[in-house]
A and B are shown apart, each in its own frame.
Chain A
Amino acid sequence: MNYNGFLKITVFAWLGLYTTVAAMDVQQIIENMEAAEKIPYSVSVSKQTVQTPGGNSRTFTIKGYSIDNGEKSLSVYQEPARIKGEKILSLDDGNDIWTFSPKTNRVRHMATHMKKQKVMGSDFSYEDMGGGDMQKKYTITLLQQYTENDTAFYTLQMIPTEHGPSYKKVICHTNGTTWLVKKMEFYDENGLLKELVIEESRMVQGRLIPWKMVMKNKQEGGQTIVETLEMSFDVKPEEWMFTQEGLKRR
C-alpha cells in the first residue's frame, strides 16, 4: 500500500489552512480536508508490520507511486521474497482495483465484494485504499468539537452511502490546528471493528504527512503498523505505469 493509500485511509490527513473551531461547519471541514488531501504525485517506500493476536509477525516493504492527486496509485511489494513483485493498482479513487502476480504474469480485476478482504493478511482491507469525493461516499455530520492540551479537535461521524465502503460507520477525530487525523474508528454490525491511530507525522518537502500509523483490530486483536521509510514529491511517475501493461513491467 503506497503513501496515497495511507493518505486516503486517514481520509482527512491534514489541512493547510487554519480556521477557528467555532467558525467551522461540516461543509467547510470537508472542503478544506479534500483540498489539503490533494497531492499531485508522490513516490514512497513504506514498511508494513502485521502482528497477529497469537504473537506472530510479518513484515512487508512496499514501494508506492501515485499521480492525479492520488486518484491513481500503484503498490509494488519488494519484500519478503515470497511475494516480491506482487502489485496492486488502484484507479478511480479505489473504485477499480487490479492485482498482478509475477508468477503467473496474470492481471486480475478485483470485484467490489473482494475489497472487503484483507490486504496480504494485514488489518487493512482493499476498500481502505479508496479515497475520492468524501461527500459522495459518506453522509457526514459533526458530532463534537473539543479542546485538548490547547488544541482544537473535531469529531466527525461518517455513514457510508451506497458508493462508500462496507463499514456501518466511521468516526474520525481531526486535529483542528494541524488538520491531521488523530484517530479513526471503523464500525461494523458488531460494534467497533478497527481503530487507526496516527502516531507520528513529519514534514517532507514542506508538507506535513502521517509518517507512522497503527491499525488495531478491536474484535480479533492484532494490529498492523505502517511506517514510511522514504517519501518524495520530486518526480512524477509516468501515466502508463498505471495501466495493465504497466503492471507487467519489472
Chain B
Amino acid sequence: MSYKLCSKVLVRMVEIMVLSAVFFTAAFATPDIRGDYENSVNAGYAGAYQVQDKNKVRVRVESGGSGLYFKSSLVAERWFGSTRFALGEYVPAFLRDSLENTFLYPLLGEQNIPDTMYLENAYLQGQKKRTILALGVQPVSWGSGYAWNPTDIWNTKDQLDPSYAQPGKMALRWEQGMGVASLTLVGGLEQSIKNSPVSAELKMYLGGFDWAITGARKYWEGMLNNGMLNNPIWENLGQSLGAGEEPGQNEFIPDSMTQMIFSELELFGNTQPVYQYTAGFWNSGQIAQLGLHSEWALHYKKTKNYEWEQWVYEILLGADYTLGVGNGVGVMAEYLYKSNGVHSESEYSIQQWMAFIQGRELAVGKHNGFLNLNYPHGLNQMLLSVIVNFSDGSLLVNPWYNVSITDNAALDIMVILPIGNENSQFGRNQYGSTVRFTLAF
C-alpha cells in the first residue's frame, strides 16, 4: 500500500473515530442545543447599486461532562437579492477573450453566491486538569495580534471584523499547562498526512507579560514568481490589477467564493507545490498601564526540490489603552511590516494578489496599519475601525454601531468608506453598508 493511500486511510479512520466518539458521548449525556440567527443586509455601490440579504443560522450542540465532551456547530446560509456576479467584470476584457473556449471560461460568466450548509465545528475534547486533548473540526486561535497574526497558519482574518468566529479546522490539538508555562501542539488532518499543517507553541507568563515561541509548517500550491509565469495573460493581468482598470470590488462576496474561483484561475497560471516553515515569537502585556503586544514571524518557503525559495519576515506591533472619556474609550492600534509587501501600487503583481485573496499572505503592502476605537454607551457600543495600507496610501474607514435590543438580540450597523486612488488596494473597493440583526437562542 502506498504512503499516500495509507495517509488517506488513516485520515478516514480518524474521522470515523471522531464521529463515533461524538455519538457515543451524545448518547450518554443530555445535549445542550442552542444557536443564533443572523440576517445581514448588505448594500453597496460600484457603478451600480447592489443589495444582498444573507440569512445565516448556526445551531450549536454540546454534550458530555467537564472531563469529556463534544461541541459542534452546523451553519446554513441563504442569500437573496443581488447574488449574481461575474468574475469577468473583475478582470480586463483581453483576459476574458483569451480564455474563451477554455475550461476556465465559465468561471468568468455570471455565478450565484451559493446557498451553503457546512459543519463549522465538530470536535471531541478530553480534559484532565491542565491537559487538553481535542480531535475534530475545531477553532484554532493563534498569536497575540488583533487584526493580523503573522504566526498563525490556520486562519484568515477579515480586518473589517477580526473577532468574528473563524470556521473550525480538522485537527488534533494537545495543550499541556505546567506552572506558568504551557505547550500547545496542533496537527491538521488533510488528505495526505505529509502535507498536513502542524504548529507548536511554548508559552510562559513572566513579569506581567505572556511570552511565546512558535513553529509551524504548512503546504500549499500557488503561483510563485514571474519566471514561472510563461503565459503572458498573467503578466498582463498582473499589470492590469496594479493599474486598477477593473471596477470596484464587492466586499460582500464571501471569501470562500472568491478564494475558490481564484484558486482555479491560479491553476491556469502554472502552480507549484510549496512547503512553508514558520518560526515565530509573540508577547502580550503592559508597561505603565499601556497594553502592548507584538508578533514576529520568519517564513521560509520552498518548492520540493528547491527550484524556488523565499524568505519573508513579518512584524506586528500593537498597543491599547482606555481613555478616561465618559465610560472610557478603548483605543487599539496595530502596525504590520511585511518584508515582501510592495512599496507602492506600481509594484503590485498578480502573484501577490492571488496569494492575498486566498489568505496565504496577510497584506499586499509593506507597511500596514489598523486603528480601532470602542466607546460603550449604556448597553450599546460605538466603534470606529480604520485599516490603512501606508504603502499605496489607501484606507478603509469603518464606523460601526452595536445596539443591544434584548438579552439575546442585537443590531449592528456598519458602513464601509474606501479612500484612495483607483490603483490602490482599498481605493478599488466599493462604498457599502451592512445592517446585521443577530438573535441567539
Contacts and interface: CB of A to CB of B under 8 A. Distances in A.
Nearest to B121: A105
Interface string B367-384: 000000000101100000
A54 interface: yes
B138 A105 contact: yes
A104 B62 CA distance: 16
Interface residues of A, number: 38
Interface string B1-40: 0000000000000000000000000000000001010000
A72 B328 CA distance: 26
Interface in A65-117: 79-82, 84, 101, 103-106, 109, 111-114, 116-117
Given A116-B322, A245-B182, A58 B379 contact: yes
A153 B392 CA distance: 67
Secondary structure call for the B interface: strand
A243 B290 CA distance: 24
B361 interface: no
Contacts of A59: 407
B379 A111 contact: no
A121 B129 contact: no
Contacts of A58: 379, 404, 406-407
B330 A114 contact: yes
Contacts of A250: 62, 64-66, 69, 71, 125
A50 interface: yes
Interface stretch (B74-82, B228-236, B269-277, B281-289): B281-289
Contacts of B286: 111-113
Nearest to A239: B129
A50 B410 contact: no
B379 A113 contact: no
B303 interface: no
A222 interface: yes
Contact of A105 (B139, B177, B324, B438): B139
B289 A54 contact: no
Contacts of B69: 250
A249 B127 contact: yes
Interface in A14-60: 50, 52-54, 56, 58-59
5 contacts: A109-B285, A118-B327, A244-B177, A250-B65, A250-B125
Q: Which 7 A-B pairs have the closest CB atoms?
A: A111-B291, A82-B440, A80-B407, A106-B141, A105-B139, A240-B129, A113-B322
